């Protein structure tokens, strides 16, 4: 059978894969993007939609900064803005240890230009009059924001296609192997795709592929617990989150321009990777209800109209896998974003395009090399 060919095959059409396809095309590299379902349907489409730097591990901030620059010019780059709003991000705390943690982070992140402002007491209440009495301190990131995850990856995918990426949706991959100089990728319907370079951006399913190349990673798939309110007048500009060490207090929410408030946090659930199913446990929805009024009491008056979950991937050390394979030349990975990959998407795509095209990237990503797990693989063997 004749194979479709390109310089790079990307397996997995979420925001990482779609962004990589777009930026590779910008560099004149030919691309085949393969997606089992529709572009952006998995984690990229169901996540919270945070486009924030505040709160990330310090080692991730250079990548997050790079990505942010792209978010700011998304409209210019792809013709759509995916409802990106630079609305600010406010983390709040209830107890002294929360304020301490936020203050320490503000200090540690100083070199990266987040512009964090620690606010408490009367100043906090004046600036954000909707906050409840339990909130004692806040860390405000004026240059962070949010976007619509249902729109972003599909829009980037369409832009990649307009630039000449060959995008194949509804194309399940059953096999990838190195065949001489090329990667030979086989679809369920028998189509073959070949390229000298393969980039695996298959999210929670990437581990299966990396394992087949002798590079298993300790990846766990989990379902975020999301819900959304009816639309109400726009009143809460910043994305809100609670800086607590206790997961059950970790509520986060954002109000979109149309007025709905998207809510997540406090818990995660197991998922079914094979059936690609993830559910919201009703207990978690009720738990979120106990946490929301602690931040903004007036939320008690609203109703949620829908819940949803999805499949996100978590790695044991809370960092993603980004970079070249440790075993196979021409093979690259970008997956396992621990429930905070959305903001990084455009940046990761740009970095991978740079890395694949030039052999190096100006953004530090060595800490995300898949080799860090090979010790584990050896130990397990």
- Residue 57 neighbours by CB distance under 10 Å: 15
CB-side neighbour CA atoms (13 Å) of 160: 35
Which has the closest alpha carbon to 169: 17, 1, 333?
Answer: 17
Q: How many amino acids of this chain bind another protein (CB under 8 A)?
A: 43
- Whether the Cβ atoms of residue 284 and residue 225 lie closer than 8 Å to each other: yes
Q: Contact with another protein (CB under 8 A): which of 186, 285, 316, 363?
A: 285
The structure tokens listed for 5 are 């060919």
* Minimum CB distance to another protein smaller for 121 or for 133: 133
Q: Tell me if 86 contacts another protein by CB under 8 A.
A: no
Nearer to another protein, 38 or 118 (CB): 38
One residue of 65, 220, 289, 328 binding another protein per CB under 8 A: 289
Q: Which of 14, 17, 45, 93 binds another protein (CB under 8 A)?
A: 45
Q: Does 292 bind another protein (CB under 8 A)?
A: yes
Q: How far is the CB of 70 from another protein (least distance, A)?
A: 21
Question: Which residues are CB-contacts of 376 (< 8 A; sequence separation ≥ 6)?
Answer: 216, 218
Residues from 182 through 201 that contact another protein (CB under 8 A): none
Identify whether the C-beta of residue 213 lies closer than 8 Å to the C-beta of residue 328.
Answer: yes
Q: How far is the CB of 115 from another protein (least distance, A)?
A: 25
The DSSP letter of residue 85 is B
d(CA 301, CA 294): 13
282 binds another protein (CB under 8 A): yes
Site string for another protein, 254-273 (x = CB under 8 A): ----xx--------------
Q: State the CB neighbour count (10 A cutoff) for residue 346.
A: 30
C-alpha torsion 261→262→267→273, nearest 10:
160
Ramachandran angles phi, psi of 121, nearest 5°: 55, -140
CB of 110 to another protein, least distance (A): 32
Number of C-beta neighbours around residue 293 at 10 A: 15
Residue 233 makes contact with another protein by CB under 8 A:
yes
Token pair for 93: 């705390």
> Please, what is the minimum distance in Å from the beta carbon of residue 8 to another protein?
22
Candidates 68-76, 97-105, 279-287, 345-353: pick the segment binding another protein (CB under 8 A).
279-287
| Cα diameter, the chain | 71
C-beta closer to another protein: residue 293 or 330: 293
Selected range binding another protein among 128-136, 179-187, 203-211, 243-251, rule: CB under 8 A: 128-136
Tokens found for residue 306: 């829908």
Question: Which of the stretches 15-23, 52-60, 85-93, 227-235 binds another protein when contact is defined by CB under 8 A?
Answer: 227-235
Kindly state the smallest distance separating residue 349's Cβ from another protein, in Å: 20
Residue 342 CB, nearest distance to another protein (Å)?
Answer: 15
C-alpha 218/C-alpha 204 separation (Å) is 11
* Residue 74, φ and ψ in degrees, nearest 5: -60, -45
**Least distance to another protein, CB of residue 251, Å:** 11
Q: Which stretch binds another protein (CB under 8 A): 38-46, 175-183, 353-361, 362-370?
A: 38-46
The contact mask relative to another protein for 293-312 (x = CB under 8 A, - = no) is x--xxxxxxxxxxxxx----
Q: Helix, strand, or coil here: 158?
A: helix
Nearest to 224 by CA among 145, 333, 314: 314
State the nearest-atom distance from the C-beta of 151 to another protein, in Å.
Answer: 7
Q: Does residue 166 belong to the site contacting another protein (CB under 8 A)? A: no
Q: Binding of another protein at residue 234 (CB under 8 A)? A: yes
Other Cβ atoms closer than 10 A to 152: 31
Nearer to another protein, 310 or 320 (CB): 310
- What are the CA-CA distances from residue 224 to residues 102, 242, 284, 291, 335 (Å)? 24, 16, 10, 16, 17
Site of interaction with another protein (CB under 8 A): 38, 41, 45, 129-130, 132, 150-151, 154, 158, 229-236, 258-259, 279-282, 285-286, 289-290, 292-293, 296-308
């Amino acid at each position: 059978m004749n194979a479709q060919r390109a310089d790079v095959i990307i397996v997995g059409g979420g925001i990482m894969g779609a962004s990589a396809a777009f930026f590779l095309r910008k560099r004149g590299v030919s691309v085949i993007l393969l997606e089992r379902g529709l572009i952006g349907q998995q984690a990229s489409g169901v996540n919270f939609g945070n486009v924030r730097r505040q709160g990330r591990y310090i080692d991730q901030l250079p990548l997050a900064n790079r990505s942010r620059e792209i978010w700011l010019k998304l409209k210019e780059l792809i013709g759509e803005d995916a409802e990106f709003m630079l609305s600010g991000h406010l983390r709040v705390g209830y107890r002294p240890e929360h304020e301490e943690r936020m203050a320490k982070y503000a200090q540690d992140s100083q070199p990266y230009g987040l512009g964090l402002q620690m606010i408490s007491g009367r100043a906090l209440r004046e600036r954000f009059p909707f906050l409840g009495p339990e909130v004692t301190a806040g860390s405000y990131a004026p240059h962070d924001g949010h976007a619509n995850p249902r729109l972003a990856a599909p829009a980037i995918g369409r832009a990649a296609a307009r630039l000449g990426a060959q995008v194949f949706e509804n194309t399940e991959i059953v096999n990838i192997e190195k065949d001489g100089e090329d990667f030979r990728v086989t679809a369920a319907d028998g189509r073959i795709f070949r390229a000298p370079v393969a980039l695996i951006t298959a999210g929670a399913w990437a581990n299966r592929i990396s394992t087949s190349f002798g590079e298993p990673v300790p990846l766990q798939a989990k379902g975020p617990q999301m819900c959304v309110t009816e639309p109400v007048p726009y009143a809460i500009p910043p994305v809100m989150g609670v800086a607590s060490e206790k997961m059950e207090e970790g509520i986060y929410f954002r109000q979109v321009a149309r007025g709905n408030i998207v809510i997540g946090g406090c818990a995660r659930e197991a998922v079914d990777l094979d059936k690609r199913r993830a559910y919201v446990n009703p207990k978690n929805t009720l738990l979120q209800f106990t946490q929301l009024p602690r931040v903004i009491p007036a939320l008690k008056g609203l109703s949620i109209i829908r819940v949803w979950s999805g499949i996100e991937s978590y790695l044991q050390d809370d960092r993603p896998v980004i970079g070249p394979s440790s075993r196979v030349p021409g093979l690259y990975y970008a997956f396992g974003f621990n429930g905070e990959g959305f903001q990084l998407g455009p940046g990761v795509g740009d970095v991978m395009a740079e890395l694949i095209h030039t052999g190096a990237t100006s953004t530090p990503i060595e800490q995300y090399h898949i080799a860090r797990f090979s010790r584990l693989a050896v130990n397990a063997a």
